[in-house]
């Protein structure tokens, strides 16, 4: 009898034998007229009282009606509570079950029909069967696609519609049925499929045939089936692994058998608008991407980006009749406030914008505005669908006008805001014509241009906002054999980003992992016998610390307007260089050796304490900083060296500063460095849009070249990539980049102008001193040694050894700089002892390399 007992127990956990009745459940409508009223209703929605009352409205804001469903035995309590706090509740649905019964009914003439139609709501089985039939009927155009499987093993099935079979097509994806009870969304998605295949409307034909559409009517199949068999108001998926007792909330324990999929995505997971209580409707799961349905969607999106230009991602929900853009969590005085939508994070469409960086991402809240809520009568299905199609056609018309079909990645940040404003204005003016659709931008005309700038980033591919690395992690892995090395090499090819450039046995390798990759990464590592150790639990927290440094750093120093208690941006660095030229005339002069791809000056200073007194062949040193954009400690170190050379009274510093003519360039990759402040803190390359292509996670990855692989010395031999999506993309040809050309040309000029002895390049991180000819080729310092034949060439990998990596805290800037300065002084003493000041350029390459090795040992 034991098996029977166990079976009965499982059944009691996973499903109720009796369909949940909402007989005499009522829905009240409450109008908050002040922020105090909003707080009262939010307390109902988000505190433990949420389990006593079901707040249907996602939105709680002043002068916006809020719908609350209440069971019979609690109706008097709710009315008394509302009266106590000065609110009135108007009854708008007398009996929820009666609306459910109406939805379940099918017209008599259609009850036995095998034809799919939109006069009633279709079950999961009927939708799947219809899609199979459509794929067979239109086999040259439509095919069945699958994104994965649900918790209960149901295949997540969709339709791909492709009329032209082009290479690198424009792609759109439709997400529907993520919240199980929102029946109107699968009804809308299936209508779209039918319209795309059969409509004769010219604009619909353009939309259908110029985009390859991937449409998924039900992405939460378990939950959707459950609304037909057990509980019409079920919202979540059906994951029973987090089952707990909900009796303390006077709820069925079954309430804990599911996760809100639209809070489970790995973009700012569990920051706001979600719950950690399994009994809550907005339970976000035990971890980001814990659910197979959420992982399936994310992986499918990333896969589409490999197939072409993924322009559209549309998420269908109900109800409210709004069109929403991502990032509802944003706030502050510089952000357009959206009064229609509560802030939430962890949603699918936020992830698609924030992580996959798809250009046009919208969430439609379909009919109605609350009269029926989630229980929209069947007779409203077709009117809802028709107005949705009208809206989508208009959006697409604007998107085509603005060349989104060509290459969204080529739209520059400076114009993206203007484009977005245009799109929103045009969409807004059109959608207002539809009596049953409201835009979230009703206040658009009441805001100044700059007030709108930050929020309206959401429709364009290149956002004004900085890319977030919230919940990204860095793991440390130590390979111990050749098999491990091959495994890590393969992992890098699969799109995982390695902070460690050179992977060798028994050496620490750092890998940054996005929330979407985390589950897959750890599972793979376990299967292959590697044991990753978490090094940085949240990359974004370190970025935030760098951008908002502590103000009580004891060892701060400054020169003029410049200081080293924080990281300075390019404008601040260049302004300071100009300031030095004015403050130290005859000693400091600015020099520009060329311009970047985006036409920024590659600017530095010449420091010469004996100008006009050195004769025909002065001793020269050149320092390069900031060739890799994300290595902020590099410019901070180079600017410190400038300060020390100008102002230090240390005799050794004075000798080194005054014996040479110094050419010092804090940032030789100005475009990339600016981009780390404005868009993506972890950007490494320059900014070159000529080789834009489709990348697995983010097409913007291809918009740049690794300058330290682009020099014309054994270019592309080892340690570099020919793939524009890779961090080490070496460019189409050696020295293809204006930044590379500028550095090379200046080195050649200096060799003609005097005795160029030193070339020192600053990078991070690892705390090593490297000599030329190591495990990568095409680097600047290899070229300076191998082609320009400069005698003393070093590359300093600055702090640290991996605890913070590229995100070194600001309180380590000055200690780092001081130890580097001490190292340079020791190096220079040895240089003088060995006579490099007198005849450095005449020494052979061989002797120079031997000396470099000896000197490295001395310094270390």
* Mean pLDDT (10-residue bins), the chain, 860 residues: 34 50 90 85 63 68 83 86 88 91 78 76 96 96 96 96 93 97 97 96 92 98 96 95 86 90 92 88 92 94 92 92 77 41 82 89 88 91 93 82 57 36 39 31 28 30 58 94 91 85 88 89 90 94 86 65 94 96 96 93 97 90 98 98 97 95 98 93 92 74 94 94 92 94 97 95 94 91 96 94 93 95 91 69 39 41
Question: Domain holding 335: CATH number?
Answer: 3.40.630.10
The span from the CA of 724 to the CA of 694, in Å, is 9
Specify whether 578 is located in the same domain as 523: no
- Cα 799 to chain centroid distance, Å, stands at 27
The answer to whether position 285 is within a domain reads yes
Helices within 754-812 (DSSP H only): 780-786
Q: What is the CA radius of gyration of the chain?
A: 31
Residues 398, 479, single domain; the answer is no
In a domain, 730, yes or no: no
Q: Which helix (H) or strand (E) holds 405?
A: helix 404-407
Catalytic, out of 355, 365, 387, 624: 365
Catalytic residue among 175, 355, 394, 797: 797
Strands 309-318, 170-175: parallel, antiparallel or unpaired by DSSP?
parallel
Q: Which of 366, 370, 378, 390 is nearest to 316 (CA)?
A: 366
Tokens of 676: 């780390």
The C-alpha atoms of residue 626 and residue 633 are separated, in whole angstroms, by: 8
- Domain final residue pick, 459, 490, 516: 459
529 and 577 together in one domain:
no
CA distance 270 to 681: 23
Q: Count the Cβ atoms, other than its own, within 10 Å of residue 483.
A: 12
Residue 282 to residues 45, 96, 156, 237, 414, Cα–Cα distance (Å): 10, 21, 22, 11, 38
User: Is 101 a domain residue?
Assistant: no
Cα atoms in the 13 Å half-sphere on the side-chain side of 172: 27
Same domain? For 415 and 336 the reply is yes
Residue 191 and residue 310 in one domain? yes
Q: Show the tokens assigned to 274.
A: 């979600």
Q: Which pLDDT tens digit goes with each residue over 44-55? A: 765 554 445 778
Question: How far apart are alpha carbons 791 and 848 in whole angstroms?
Answer: 5
Q: What separation in angstroms does the CA of 270 have from each of 276, 321, 455, 849?
A: 8, 26, 21, 55
Yes or no: say if 4 and 15 are a contact pair by the CB < 8 Å rule: no
Q: Calculate the alpha carbon distances from 397 to 162, 390, 394, 405 in Å.
A: 19, 11, 5, 11
pLDDT of residue 696: 66
For residues 432 and 478, state if they share a domain. Answer: no
Same domain, 574 and 644: yes
Neighbours of 210 (CB within 10 A): 16
Domain count, the chain: 4
Segment holding 391, helix H or strand E: helix 381-401
- Please give the residue range of the domain that contains residue 29: 24-94
Whether residues 596 and 522 share a domain: the answer is: no
Report in angstroms the alpha-carbon separations of 247 from 52, 74, 253, 256, 765: 12, 16, 7, 11, 54
Q: Which residue has the tokens 């909402």?
A: 22
Dihedrals phi, psi of 253, to nearest 5 degrees: -60, -20
Is there a domain that residue 727 lies in? no
For residue 800, whether the previous peptide bond is cis, meaning omega lies within 30 degrees of 0, is yes
Instruction: Tell me if 15 is assigned to some domain.
Output: no
**Do residues 589 and 581 touch, judged by C-beta distance below 8 A?**
yes
Written as one string, the DSSP assignment of 676-733 is HHHT-TT--S----TT----SS-GGGGS---GGG-SSSSTTSSS-BS-TTSTTB--SS
Instruction: Say if residue 128 is in the same domain as residue 212.
Output: yes
Instruction: Compute the half-sphere exposure of residue 314: CA atoms within 13 Å on the CB side of its CA.
Output: 28
Peptide bond before residue 734 is cis, with ω within 30 degrees of 0: no
Annotation says 797 is catalytic: yes
**Which pair of structure tokens corresponds to residue 60?**
């709680």
DSSP string, 500-516: -SS--TTS-EEEEE-HH
Q: Are residues 749 and 645 in the same domain?
A: yes
Domain end call among 94, 128, 152: 94
pLDDT given for residue 326 in this prediction: 83
CB 777 within 8 A of CB 713: yes
How far CA 211 is from CA of 70, 166, 191, 228, 721, in Å, comes to 45, 10, 17, 33, 32
In a domain, 706, yes or no: no
Same domain for 437 and 582: no
CATH number at 517 reads: 3.30.70.340
Neighbours of 705 (CB within 10 A): 27
16 in a domain, yes or no? no
- Between CA 673 and CA 89 the distance in angstroms is 56
| Final residue before a domain boundary, out of 94, 125, 156 | 94
pLDDT confidence of residue 105: 85
Helix axes 381-401, 202-209, angle to 10 degrees: 70
Q: What is the pLDDT of residues 125-148, one digit of tens each?
A: 999 999 999 999 999 999 999 999
Contacts of 633 (CB under 8 A, 6+ apart): 764, 765, 798, 799, 808, 812, 813, 816
Alpha helices in 503-569 (DSSP H): 515-528, 539-547
Neighbours of 823 (CB within 10 A): 15
The answer as to whether 601 is a domain residue is yes
Q: Are residues 125 and 266 in the same domain?
A: yes
């Amino acid at each position: 009898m034991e098996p029977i007992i166990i079976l009965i127990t499982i059944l009691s956990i996973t499903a109720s034998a009796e369909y949940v009745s909402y007989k005499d459940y009522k829905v009240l409508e409450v109008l908050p007229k002040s922020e105090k009223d909003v707080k009262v209703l939010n307390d109902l929605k988000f505190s433990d009282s949420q389990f006593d009352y079901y707040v249907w409205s996602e939105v709680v804001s002043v002068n916006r009606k809020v719908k609350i469903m209440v069971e019979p035995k609690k109706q008097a309590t709710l009315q008394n509570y509302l009266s106590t706090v000065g609110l009135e509740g108007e009854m708008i649905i007398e009996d929820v079950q009666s609306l459910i019964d109406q939805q379940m009914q099918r017209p008599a003439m259609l009850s036995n029909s095998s034809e799919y139609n939109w006069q009633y709501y279709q079950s999961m089985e009927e939708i799947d069967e219809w899609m199979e039939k459509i794929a067979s009927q239109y086999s040259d155009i439509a095919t069945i696609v699958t994104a994965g499987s649900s918790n209960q093993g149901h295949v997540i099935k969709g339709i791909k519609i492709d009329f032209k079979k082009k290479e690198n097509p424009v792609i759109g994806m439709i997400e529907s049925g993520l919240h199980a009870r929102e029946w109107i969304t699968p009804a809308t998605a299936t209508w779209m499929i039918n319209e795309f295949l059969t409509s004769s409307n010219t604009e619909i034909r353009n939309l259908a045939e110029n985009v390859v559409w991937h449409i998924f009517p039900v992405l939460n199949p378990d939950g959707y089936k459950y609304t037909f068999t057990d509980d019409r108001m079920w919202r979540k998926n059906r994951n029973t692994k987090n089952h707990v007792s909900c009796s303390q909330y006077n709820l069925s324990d079954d309430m804990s058998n599911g996760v809100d999929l639209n809070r489970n995505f790995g973009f700012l997971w569990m920051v706001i608008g979600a719950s950690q209580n399994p009994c809550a409707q907005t339970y976000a799961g035990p971890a980001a991407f814990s659910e197979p349905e959420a992982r399936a969607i994310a992986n499918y999106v990333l896969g589409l980006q490999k197939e072409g230009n993924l322009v559209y991602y549309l998420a269908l929900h109900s109800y409210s009749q709004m069109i929403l853009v991502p990032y509802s969590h944003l706030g502050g005085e510089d952000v357009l406030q959206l009064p229609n939508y509560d802030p939430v994070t962890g949603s699918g469409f936020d992830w698609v914008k924030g992580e996959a960086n798809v250009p046009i991402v919208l969430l439609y809240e379909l009919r109605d505005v609350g009269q029926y809520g989630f229980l929209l009568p069947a007779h409203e299905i077709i009117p809802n669908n028709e107005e949705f199609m009208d809206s989508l056609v208009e959006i697409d018309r604007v998107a085509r006008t603005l060349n989104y079909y060509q290459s969204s990645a080529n739209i520059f940040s400076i114009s993206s805001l203007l484009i977005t404003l245009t799109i929103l204005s045009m969409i807004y003016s059109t959608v207002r014509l539809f009596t049953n659709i409201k835009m979230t931008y009703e206040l658009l005309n009441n805001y100044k241009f700059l007030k709108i700038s930050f929020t309206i980033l959401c429709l364009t591919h290149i956002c004004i906002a900085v890319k977030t690395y919230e919940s990204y992690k860095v793991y440390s892995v130590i390979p111990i054999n050749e098999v491990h090395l091959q495994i890590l090499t393969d992992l890098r090819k699969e799109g995982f980003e390695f902070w460690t450039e050179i992977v060798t046995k028994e050496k620490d390798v750092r890998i940054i992992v996005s929330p979407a990759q985390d589950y897959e990464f750890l599972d793979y590592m376990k299967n292959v016998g590697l044991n990753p150790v978490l090094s940085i639990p949240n990359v974004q927290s370190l970025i935030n610390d760098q951008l908002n440094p502590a103000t009580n750093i004891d060892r701060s120093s400054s020169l003029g307007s410049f200081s080293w208690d924080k990281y300075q941006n390019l404008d601040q660095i260049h302004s300071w260089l100009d300031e030095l030229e004015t403050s130290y005339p005859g000693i400091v002069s600015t020099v520009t050796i060329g311009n970047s791809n985006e036409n920024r000056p590659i600017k530095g200073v010449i420091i010469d304490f004996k100008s006009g007194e050195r004769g025909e062949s002065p001793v020269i040193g050149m320092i390069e900083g900031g060739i890799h954009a994300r290595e902020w400690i590099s410019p901070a170190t180079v600017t410190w060296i400038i300060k020390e050379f100008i102002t230090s009274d240390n005799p050794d510093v004075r000798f080194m500063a005054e014996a040479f003519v110094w050419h010092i360039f804090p940032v030789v990759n100005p475009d990339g460095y600016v981009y780390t402040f404005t868009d993506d803190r972890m950007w490494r390359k320059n900014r070159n849009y000529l080789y834009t292509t489709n990348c697995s996670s983010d097409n913007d990855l291809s918009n740049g070249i690794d300058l330290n692989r682009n020099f014309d010395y054994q270019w592309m031999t080892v340690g570099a990539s020919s793939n524009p999506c890779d961090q080490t993309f070496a460019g189409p040809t050696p020295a293809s980049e204006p930044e590379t050309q500028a550095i090379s040309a200046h080195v050649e000029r200096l060799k003609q102008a005097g005795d160029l002895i030193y070339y020192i390049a600053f990078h991070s991180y690892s705390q090593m001193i490297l000599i030329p000819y190591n495990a990568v080729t095409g680097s600047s310092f290899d070229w300076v040694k191998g082609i320009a034949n400069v005698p003393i060439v070093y590359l300093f990998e600055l702090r640290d050894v991996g605890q913070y990596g590229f995100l070194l805290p600001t309180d380590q800037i000055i200690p780092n700089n001081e130890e580097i300065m001490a190292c340079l002084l020791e190096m220079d003493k040895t240089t003088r002892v060995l006579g490099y000041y007198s005849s450095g350029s005449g020494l052979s390459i061989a002797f120079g390399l031997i000396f470099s090795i000896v000197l490295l040992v001395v310094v270390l």
